[in-house]
């Protein structure tokens, strides 16, 4: 696969000739006529989600609460933050490279917004660490993986997929990087999110939970973005889409997520057990597969064991419902003319 040219005078920006990858555009962002209507809707919502961590107050109270957490809660707090920091860091670096092979300007625009949001998330974690934990602990949280072999393997598994595509950008590696992005956004964050929700439910670390809720709202848009990219690849380039590879990667990701959550949380945190971790991760997996029209991988996992935490998880129900029920089930159109703003 070839990278997009910065400026391609011989390109063709006509809507009917555009494609999600392997297109021949000029490099101009002509957003008055788009091929993918879902991108217009997502643009409005992603821009509408704008926030900055400095506006989220209360972290000084969390600093007092943190010192009162049980040792197991403090360890999980540090470990989960470390993994979330890694995920957003690697996405900020990876997304521009991935976008170089997307040939729809409206989708490139969304990936640019996503990259910006991931950078905001990194700043958010820095704000949490600066305020909540002692300066002597911060370095250990950023580099928790250096002393934790399970976390190191998790980070390497993500990094290796992205690095393979950067080193050898062929169709096979592109597809694996695409699924790697989807798994990161749709699965890897969520046991961490559940841990922080669980603390808030127990009236602990309230401001950290509020910050995480804003991050989660952004991540939901990223999930839907990659769901739609995968759908377009499947429709336009069926020879690139490989469901066997997808399911193999997906199953491995779920297993890794359960191992990690059991390792960092286990049965030591009130409200979370190894059983609920497994049920939640499998239930989440089924819901993500459903977004792509794929049968459940874990038919026995029919309920969210953290149902009582959903009210805190949904800090923007109107947008969440829109994404879950509308964007992922849009009606495909070959073109959509008209203003970008509506």
Residues with a catalytic annotation lie at 125
SS (H, E, C) the chain: CCCCCCCCCCCCCCHHHCCCECCCCCCCCCCCEECCHHHHHHHHHHHHCCCCHHHCCCHHHHHHHHHHCCHHHHHHHHHHHHHHHHHHHHHHHHHHHHHCCECCHHHHHHHHHHHHHHHHHHHHHHHHHHHHCCHHHHHHHHCHHHCCHHHHHHHHHHHHHHHHHHHCCCHHHHHHHHHHHHHHHHHHCHHHHHHHHHHHHCCCCHHHHHHHHHHHHHHHHHHHHHHHHHHHHHHHCCCCCCHHHHHHHHHHHHHHHHHHHHHHCCCCECCECHHHHHHHHHHHHHHHHHHCCCCCCCCCCCCCCCHHHHHHHCCCHHHHHHHHHCHHHCCCCCCEECCCCC
């Amino acid at each position: 696969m070839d990278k997009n040219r910065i400026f391609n005078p011989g390109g063709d920006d006509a809507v009917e000739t555009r494609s999600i990858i392997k297109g021949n555009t000029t490099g101009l962002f002509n957003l008055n006529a788009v091929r993918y209507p879902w991108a217009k809707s997502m643009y409005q919502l992603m821009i509408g989600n704008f926030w900055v961590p400095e506006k989220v107050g209360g972290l000084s109270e969390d600093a007092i609460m943190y010192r009162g957490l049980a040792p197991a809660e403090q360890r999980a707090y540090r470990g989960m933050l470390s993994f979330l920091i890694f995920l957003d860091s690697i996405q900020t670096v990876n997304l521009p490279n991935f976008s170089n092979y997307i040939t729809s300007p409206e989708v490139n625009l969304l990936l640019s917004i996503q990259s910006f949001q991931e950078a905001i998330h990194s700043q958010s974690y820095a704000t949490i660490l600066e305020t909540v934990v002692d300066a002597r602990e911060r370095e250990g949280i950023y580099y928790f993986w250096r002393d934790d072999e399970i976390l190191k393997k998790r980070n390497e598994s993500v990094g290796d997929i992205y690095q393979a595509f950067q080193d050898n950008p062929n169709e096979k590696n592109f597809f694996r990087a695409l699924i790697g992005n989807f798994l990161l956004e749709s699965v890897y964050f969520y046991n961490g999110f559940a841990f922080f929700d669980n603390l808030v439910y127990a009236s602990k670390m309230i401001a950290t939970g509020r910050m995480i809720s804003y991050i989660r709202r952004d991540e939901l848009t990223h999930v839907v973005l990659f769901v739609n990219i995968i759908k377009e690849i499947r429709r336009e380039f069926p020879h690139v889409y490989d469901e066997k590879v997808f399911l193999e990667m997906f199953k491995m990701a779920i297993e890794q997520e359960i191992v990690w959550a059991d390792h960092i949380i286990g049965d030591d945190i009130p409200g979370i057990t190894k059983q609920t971790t497994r049920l939640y991760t499998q239930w989440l997996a089924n819901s993500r597969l459903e977004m792509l029209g794929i049968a459940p991988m874990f038919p026995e996992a029919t309920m969210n064991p953290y149902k009582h935490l959903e009210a805190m998880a949904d800090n923007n129900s109107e947008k969440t419902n829109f994404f879950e029920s509308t964007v992922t089930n849009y009606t495909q159109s070959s073109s959509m003319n008209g203003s970008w703003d509506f």
